[in-house]
Amino acid sequence: MAHAWEMQHDDSVVVIGQDVGANGGVFRATAGLQARFGPDRVQDTPLAEATIAGMSVGMATHGLKPVAEIQFMGFIYPALDQIVNHMTRMRYRTRGRLTCPVVIRTPHGGGIHAPEHHSESTETLLCHIPGMRVVCPSSPARAYGLLLAAIRDPDPVMFLEPVRLYRALRQEVIDDGRALPLDRCFILREGTQVTLVSWGAMTLETLRAAAELETQGIDAEVIDLATLSPIDADTILASVAKTGRLVIVHEAARNVGVGAEIAAIVAEHGLYDLQAPIRRVTGFDTIMPLFRLEHDYIPSVTRIVDAVRLTFAD
Partner 1 sequence: MTIVAEFSVGYRQILDPNGRLVGPLPGFAEDVAEVVKMYEAMTRVRAFDSKAINLQRTGQLGTYPPSLGHEATHVGVGAAMDVKDVLAPVYREYGTQLWRGVTMTEILMYWGGDERGSDFAVPRHDFAWCVPIATQTLHAAGAAMAFKIRREPRCAVAYIGDGGTSEGCFYEALNLAGARTLPVVFVIVNNGWAISVPVAAQTATRTLAQKAVAAGIPGLQVDGNDVLAVRAAVSEALATARSGGGPCLIEALTYRLSDHTTADDASRYRTQAEVKEAWTLEPLLRLREYLLRANAWDDARERALLKDCAFEVDAAVHDYLATAKPSCDAMFDHLFATPPAHLDAQRATAHRYATKPGGP
Under a CB-based contact definition with an 8 Å cutoff, are residues 110 and 251 in contact? Answer: yes
- Site residues (CB under 8 A) for partner 1, limited to 255-284: 284
Among 75, 159, 186, 199, binds partner 1 (CB under 8 A): 75
48 binding partner 1? (CB under 8 A): yes
Compute CA distances 78 → 35, 47, 73, 100, 196, whole Å: 29, 11, 11, 19, 34
Q: What is the longest distance spanned by two Cα atoms in the chain? A: 61
End-to-end CA distance of the chain: 48
CB nearer to partner 1: give 93 or 295: 295
117 lies in the binding site for partner 1 (CB under 8 A): yes
Residue 78 makes contact with partner 1 by CB under 8 A: yes
Task: Label residue 246 exposed, middle or buried (CB < 10 Å: 0-12, 13-18, 19+).
Answer: buried
46 part of the interface to partner 1, by CB under 8 A: yes
Pairing of strands 279-283, 246-253: parallel
| 40 near partner 1, rule: CB under 8 A | no
Q: Does 285 bind partner 1 (CB under 8 A)?
A: yes
Of 74-82, 96-104, 164-172, 215-223: span binding partner 1 (CB under 8 A): 74-82
CB neighbourhood size of 286 (10 A): 9
- Residue 290 binding partner 1, by CB under 8 A: yes
122 binds partner 1 (CB under 8 A): no
Q: Find, among 16, 23, 5, 29, the residue nearest to 66 by Cα.
A: 16
Stretch that binds partner 1, among 47-55, 87-95, 230-238, 264-272 (CB under 8 A): 47-55
**Helix or strand run (H / E) with residue 83:** none
Segment contacting partner 1 by CB under 8 A, of 18-26, 153-161, 191-199, 205-213:
18-26
Q: In angstroms, rounded to a whole number, what is the distance separating the alpha carbons of residues 31 and 37?
A: 11
Question: Where do contacts with partner 1 occur on this chain (CB under 8 A)?
Answer: 18-19, 21-24, 26, 44, 46-51, 74-75, 77-78, 113-118, 254, 284-287, 289-297, 300, 302-303
